[in-house]
Every structure is written in structure tokens, then in C-alpha cells.
Structure 1
Amino acid sequence: MSSAPARRLATRRQVLAGSGATAVSIAFAGAFSELFAGTAAARGHSGYGPLVPDPDGLLDLPKGFRYRVLSREGDRLRSGEGPVPSNHDGMAAFAGHRGRVHLVRNHENRVTANIAVPAVDGLTYDPMGKGGCTALELDSCGSVLGERVAIAGTAVNCAGGRTPWNTWLTCEETEDRAGTNGYTKDHGFIFEVDGADPHRTGAVPLTAMGRFQHEAIAIDPNNGIVYETEDAFEKPFGLFYRFLPEKPLGGTGSLRAGGELQAMRVPGVPDLSVIQETGASFDRIEWVPVPDPQAAGTPIRLQDFGPKGITHAQKLEGCYWGGSSVYFVSSFAQSAAGSAADHFGQVWRYEPKRRRLTLVVVFGPGTDVQLPGESPDNICLASDGGLMVCEDGNGAQHVFGVTRSGEVYAMARGRQNIGTPQKPEWGEFAGVTFAPDGGTMFVNCYTPGTTFAVTGPWR
């Protein structure tokens, strides 16, 4: 999310603008069929038409689509617990009773956050933590019935993922220990959140799943194995993990029973950034037990994994399950920051049954400067069988759609200027997700924290 380091290489848009590049077609290169395994058949469309400027200056959408603002930072929570917190990030939607929808929303708040998640008895992990989650309840017509704190006292809640039993795993993207930045407890954990009944899950860290700079998770619905990404900001960069739970698919609270944390080793590949060609594949992927999952003395990525070492990757972010595989995203790699090579974004596929890892999509740079091609972040499967991608780059901020044939189209553009008229800036999008019936797309603007519900002629 907005944890990307400020010192970045020239962006893809800057490079292409300076070179006069004018290509206007495909924005990604790769085996797109790999991304959509197990989803509904595509309808063959190539988007919903050009974006129409929003007269209210919030969100541009294609003709026929409309948005509703569900929540904005600084407004009052309907529960009366305090103001809506800052920094809206990862999010998921769950089906409720009688057509209702429960949204669980992360707040990536550091100690410097403008508006903390309010502390609530029974839901607060560390009183000095400003992050956490809030939960919205919508009726069958999409109107907000309630909004409340779902967990508080955590830190830098970036992304996460849903469980097969319909809870949300929220991830702390920090390794701060007790005594650092005023915290009274160690941070860097995953917490389980029930959006419909937060007190059922409380504020209990799932310590066996590791203490590191978590980003996102995805769960294999066949056996309950949890895959985890690490977005470490400095070299050596993050690892890709799997957690083997003692009580797989045991329902709410079962992950507290513990399990084994392992890290992925690609034989002969210490850094995934060196792989540049789509379709590159590696068999016999190894999973190495993590020596100290609590990182009591040394961060996990710096621990001794034996003479063969371990495989790192810069900016590991989105993670999701599709078909029989888990997919994870490397938003970018920069040799100037310590990566072995440069790229503008990758999507990797791991097939557990074959122990095979494949690079299926490479982002940029030989594409139109107005199309997505750098720093993919949140990715979700859309109701039409394609993808929705939140691009975490510079300049204008979009949610882009990608059809199963690889065509890219703009679905939304943020219009809230957080810069100046002379030097405009726009808050990134995050947390894109769809209602259980596929009829509404929910998405957050990170800054100013805004949650939108987008309806219209979805295919």
C-alpha cells in the first residue's frame, strides 16, 4: 500500500513519456488464462467505455455506473465509538442474513496517523496501537445500517485475506517491538476478525503464523494451508511463506491452535526479480521450516536457512487463491534499492500439487503511458470473470479492469486532489472487492479515507 519507499526509480510513465512511446494496446504481457482459473466464463467484452468526469469531484466512472460514499474518515462511526479512522486499506465483503453484506476494512495507521481506530473494551490488542479494522453492515439495498470497530490497538494493518469460514485475517505490516514507537506489545502479527460479531474473535495475535512485515494471505480451501506475503522495505527483501495449521479448516479460532511456518525456496534462485520472461517455470519448489517464527532476536528474512539459503523478492503484496493455485504479486523491483534486477510488477502462480512456480504476468514497460503497467497492488476477481487491479503508482490513480483475453480498461479514477492545484496528487485505491452477488464493487481511497460502493451494468 502506501508503504512504498519514497526513493523510487523513474516510473514507467516518466520513462515512456520521455521516450515518446505511443503504444495503446495491451498493458500486461503474460499467460492471462492462468489468472482466471476456476472463474466464470468471460463475456468477451473490452470494458465499459470511457470514464465520465464526476461533477462532484470524487470518482470518475463509465457511463451508466454510479457510486455511493459509504464512509469517510473523520465522520462519526454509527456505533458512537468515535470518528471513522484514517488510511482505508485492504477490505473484504461477506454475506449476511436476509441479503445483508458485512464489509471489513483495514486501517493502515502508524503512530503518526491522523485518526486512530478507537480503543474498545475486548477488541483492543495494544492501547498504543492506532491501527485496526472497522466493520460496516449494509442492507439488501446497499444502505449502511451500522459501522463499528472490529479490532483496535494493532499497527499498520495493510492487507490480509478472507478465510473459508467467512472471517477476515488482518495483517500488520510492521516488525516493531514493545518499547518501539511507544508500543506496549510486540507487533507484526495476523489477527482474525469476524465482521458480523467482532467480540467472537477479539484481539488475539496468531503468533504461530509468524512475526514479520505481513502484507496479504490466501488459503487453500482444500486443506487449509495459509500462504503469506512479506512486504519488507529494505534488503534482504521479503519471503513467501506457507503455514501448516494444526487444525486446518477448523473454523473461527482454529488458527490459534498453532502450526508450522515455512518459507519458499526456489532452487538456484535467490531473488525472484531476475526472472523476466512470462512462462518461466520451476519445479520441485522447496519449503523450509522457519527457525524462529517469533523473530525474537533476528527478523525471519535474515535467519539462517542453511547453506542453500532462501528466496527473496521485493515488494511482495497481493495474494489470492484461484482454481487449484495460489497467486502472489511483486509490485516492483529496483536494483538501486537492492534487488538483483528491475521490473515494474510480476504475478506468480504456485501449484501446490505439482510443487511448481510459474511467472504468469509481467507488467510494463512497453505500453501506453495512460494504461496500467507499474506497481500492481490489490487484485481481486471480478464478477465477469476478469480482474480488478488497484495500481499503486504515481500520477493519476485508477482501478483498472483486465479481461480474460488480456485487454485492459479503466474502471474508475480518483478525483480527490490531496496535493495543490499546481502540483496535484491523488490518493491510491485499495481494498477492491465485490459483494457476494457480484452486483456491487466496493473500493477504498486510501487518502482521504473514503469507501465507495459502485453499481451499474456489470456483465
Structure 2
Amino acid sequence: MSVTRRSLLAAGAVAFSGALGALWAPGPARASARGYGPLLPDPAGLLDLPAGFSYRVLSRAGDPLRSGEGTVPANCDGMAAFGAGGGRLRLVRNHENRATAALRVPAVDGLTYDPGALGGCTVLELDPAGGVRAERVGLAGTAVNCAGGRTPWNTWLSCEETEDRAGDSGYSRDHGYVFEVDPADPHRLGAVPLTALGRFAHEAVAVDPYRGVVYETEDAFVKPFGLFCRFLPARPLGGPGSLRAGGLLEAMRVPGVADLSAVDEPGAEFPVEWVPVPDPAAAVTPVRFQDFGPRGITHAQKLEGCYWGGTGVYFVSSYARGREGAAADHHGQVWFHDPVRGRLRLEVLFGPAADTALPGDSPDNICLAPDGGLMVCEDGGGDQYVFGVTPGGEVYPVARNADDIGTAGAPEWGEFAGVTFSPDARTMYVNAYAPGTTFAVTGPWR
């Protein structure tokens, strides 16, 4: 990230390509908000925020877990907030630990899928004042738990972003699955892979709260790139554990579009077809390599964030690079799929067609802001931001990671991940992936 781009962000809001019209329900016209003002340096050197905002560090990798089960694991990634009654709240937080992770998710009886795998998720319980009253393991023995998504019945779906099999990386079982975690009682569901949702490098999921369909992104950065899939459960909206009953896994085909990076016009809309995945278990061939017939299937590089908003599902392609085999270059796309109309629309395009000097380098985890706007976690080079997008197509800074984890003369800042809001929309929770910190941010949210 250049100095020019840093100064643009620090100064306030700037425009970019795409107006994000689908993110807001129809209603009276309103003036475009321009964010919350410039970011102010944090004297503690952790998190720069606009005036009027403050943060609290809830958890830090390497500190003791309050449950006594071990230490807080590293690589804090996807996250969601769940109301717990009486003003309490639970945060479920993924840990994207590979086989080399220094701080593993502690193995706990009844919650561990594969003792040789170091990832999983932890659960923080907050009291009505926002203080941490409990912190424990929610899932262990899984691998590279990147993002995921919440269900309409208030459980968390944790995604393994790997295709490693038993025998790889010291693992004793196959990986590449989605696991369901109950924030209130993790032992209720245990560590059971939802095999019918497919075995591939899962990134994130979003559940249609009206029909129960589960949408899934596959994060692949080398060709053939990942797929956007949907899972039709045998027991839609059946509650905790219902996804174990199986169902049908399908991949999205956009007729005439083999690679989503070829689309560079925000507002462009296409019909969508869904094709059954020949072998969801990927027993011999990885899902994205499988034969989807003479018409093929639609791929996209680095499919990441995925969430349900309003009447459809939004998902992110973090970037596309022609030198790596993509049809065209971009620095991030946000797509919207309307399941009722069976249409797909490009909502946002981040450079180079927009302007590579503008914010928005490799968007990753995303969520809706309290005012219906968009919050995006950045996972690119240089400075790392959480930024928002207004209905008028303006990008504005919300937070900047000020915790330099680099070396003298070579500064480095960890990506943001897991942005989510409390049910009352008064607090934003977000993770700094490295060194592994969970923040609660309060202020005059609109």
C-alpha cells in the first residue's frame, strides 16, 4: 500500500467504482454519509480509530484461556456475535492454524476431530458491560479454520480452508469440511464434519433464512480457481445438527462466463444455473477439477467473504491476477446473488478499472454495518484497514491496524478478519489476524 493511498484513507472518504445499490432496501432518498472522519493515531499503538470511538482488547493470542484449557490460540480469523440473554453476548472465533502453528487450539475431550490438527475455534462470553467473563474451546482438531457463517438457529459453521488428507501434515483424518458449533454448549454438537457440504478449501458460508439453502465459497488462488456452491439440505431450517441429514451440493454456472474476473462493469447482471457436483466427497478428484459436462462451470480466483443480506447472498472475490491465469486483473469484487430471480450481479469492483490508488486491496471478510452499509476487512499488502462503503459508492476508513509486527526498516501489519456487530448494533467486533487480537469497538455508529 502506497503512502498516497494511506493519506487518502486517513483523510476521510473517497469514491470508487460501484454504488452498492443492492445493499440497501428501497426507501426514501437520503444524503450520502462520508464516514466518521480521519483516523487518529492510537497512543497504545494497537488500533487507530476516528474521534469519538474507542476500543477494548478482549483477547490476545498467548494469554491464558479463562477456562484453564490452555492458551489463547493464534491466527484469529472469522467470527460472529450471538446474543446470550440478559445483555450477555457470545463471540465464536476461528483460528486459521496450519500444521506449523505455534499456538494451537487446545485439544479438549469431546470437541476434537483430529488430535494432529491445530485449528478450530474458541468462544468468548461477554457480560452486559462488555467484559469477558468466560473464554473456552468450541472446536478443536480441525485445520486452517478460516471463515464460516452463522445459521438462522444461532450456531456457527466453521470452515476448513484445506484439502489435506489423512497422512498429510501429520493429520490422522481427512480435512476440508464444515463443522457446526453451538456457542451456548459446544459439547452439544461435538466435532462432527458436515460431509454432505463437500470436501474442499472452504472459506465462508451464508444460510438463506427463508429457504435454508447454504451458500459456500471455495478459496483457490491457482487454476482451476474456486467455485461458488449451494447446498440444498434434506432438512432445511431444521435447527442444530440438521445439516448432518445430508442433501444436494451444486455449483454455480453463469452461462458464457467461465471466469468471474472477466466482468468489469458494476451493475452487470447474469442468469444463473446450478449444476450437481459429481463427487462432493472429492474421493479421487478435487471438486473444482471435476467434470461438469461440456458447458463447464464458472470459476473465480480467491472466493472469500460470504454473507446473507436482505433478499440474497453476497460474496467476495478477493483479487484476480492475469499472470496467475485469471481472465482479467482486479483488486476485489463483491457479487450479489438473488435466489428468487436466479440472477447474479456485480456490485463492486476494486481497481484497476476503478483506480488502483483507491482503498480496497483484497477485500476478505465482510458484513453489513448497522446502517445497512458494508464493512470490509482488508487482507492485502502494507497498511491494513477495516473500511466501510456508503450507498453513494464512497469508501471511508473505520479502523487501521497500528500494531507493527515487522522488523526494523520493514514494517508489517496483520490483516483484519471476522468483522461482526453485536445484536444491538452498538459494538463492532473485529480480529487482527496477527499477532492475534480481538477488539470491541464502540462509538457513534449510525
Match of 2:393 in 1: 406
What is the CA-CA distance between 1:40 and the residue it aligns to? 11
Which stretch of the first structure deviates more once superposed, 72-81 or 386-395?
386-395
Identical-pair percentage: 71
Q: What SS does structure 2 have at the residue aligned with 1:165?
A: coil
Please give the per-residue CA displacement for 1:373-414, whole angstroms capped at 9, x wherever unaligned.
221111111112211111111111111121222222111111
- RMSD over aligned Cα atoms: 2.0
Find out whether 1:101 has 2:89 as its counterpart.
yes
Alignment equivalent of 1:356, drawn from 322, 340, 343: 343
- Secondary structure of the residue aligned to 1:94 is strand
Number of residues of Structure 1 aligned to a counterpart in Structure 2: 442
CA contact (8 A) 2:94 2:147 kept: yes
Asked if 1:417 corresponds to 2:404, the answer is yes
Shift in Å, 1:41: 9.1
Is the Cα contact below 8 Å between 2:387 and 2:398 reproduced in 1?
Answer: yes
- Matching residue of 2:360: 373
- 1:326 is aligned to 313
Q: SS of the counterpart of 1:199?
A: helix
Is the counterpart of residue 273 in structure 1 residue 273 in structure 2?
no
Counterpart in the other structure of 1:437: 424
C-alpha distance in 2 between matches for 1:279 and 1:392: 25
1:372 Cα deviation from its structure 2 partner? 1.6
**Which shifted more, 121-130 or 377-386?**
377-386
Answer yes or no: is 1:455 the counterpart of 2:436: no
> Structure 1: 5+ residue runs without aligned partners?
1-10, 18-22
Residues 168-188 of structure 1: CA deviation (Å, up to 9, x unaligned): 000000000000111000000
| 1:237-295 alpha-carbon deviations (Å, 9 max, x no partner) | 00000000000000000000000000011111111111111121112x11110110000
- The alignment status of 1:156 with 2:144, answered yes or no, reads yes
TM-score relative to the length of structure 2: 0.95
How far is the alpha carbon of 1:457 from its aligned partner? 1.6
Q: Distance in 2 between the 1:130 and 1:414 partners?
A: 26
Compare 129-138 and 47-56 and name the one that shifted more. Answer: 47-56
Amino acid at match of 2:108: V
Alignment of 1:339-350 (within 5 A): 339-350=326-337
Greater alpha carbon shift after TM alignment, 310-319 vs 336-345: 336-345
C-alpha distance in 2, partners of 1:139/1:110? Answer: 32
5 Å-filtered alignment, 1:33-182, equals: 33-37=21-25, 44-182=32-170
- Residues 19 and 392, structure 2, Cα contact 8 Å, conserved in 1: no
Q: Compared with structure 1, are the counterparts of its residues 133 and 399 closer, same or farther at alpha carbon in structure 2 (3 Å cutoff)?
A: same
Aligned equivalent of 1:312, options 291, 299, 305: 299
Give the alignment's TM-score, normalised by structure 1. Answer: 0.93
- Separation of aligned partners in 2, 1:384 and 1:122: 40
Letter in 2 for 1:88: C
Aligned residue for 1:96, secondary structure, equals: strand
Query: Does the Cα contact within 8 Å between 1:27 and 1:372 map onto a contact in 2?
Result: no
Cα distance in structure 2, aligned partners of 1:455 and 1:194: 26
How far apart are 1:233 and its partner, in Å? 2.8
Contact persistence 2:304–2:318 (CA under 8 A): yes
Unaligned 5+ segments in structure 2 are 6-10
Deviation at 1:216, TM superposition (A): 0.5
Q: What amino acid is the match of 1:410? A: P
Q: Which amino acid aligns with 2:427?
A: T
Residues in 2 aligned to 1:226 and 1:434: alpha-carbon distance in whole angstroms: 21
Cα contact 1:398–1:411 (8 A) shared by 2: yes
Counterpart among 174, 194, 204 of residue 216 in structure 1: 204
Task: Work out the CA distance in 2 between the residues paired with 1:332 and 1:293.
Answer: 26
The amino acid that maps onto 2:359 is P
Task: Please tell me whether the aligned partners of residues 215 and 230 of structure 1 are also in contact (alpha carbons under 8 angstroms).
Answer: yes
Deviations for 1:149-199, whole angstroms, at most 9, x for unmatched residues? 000000000000000000100000000000011100000000001111101
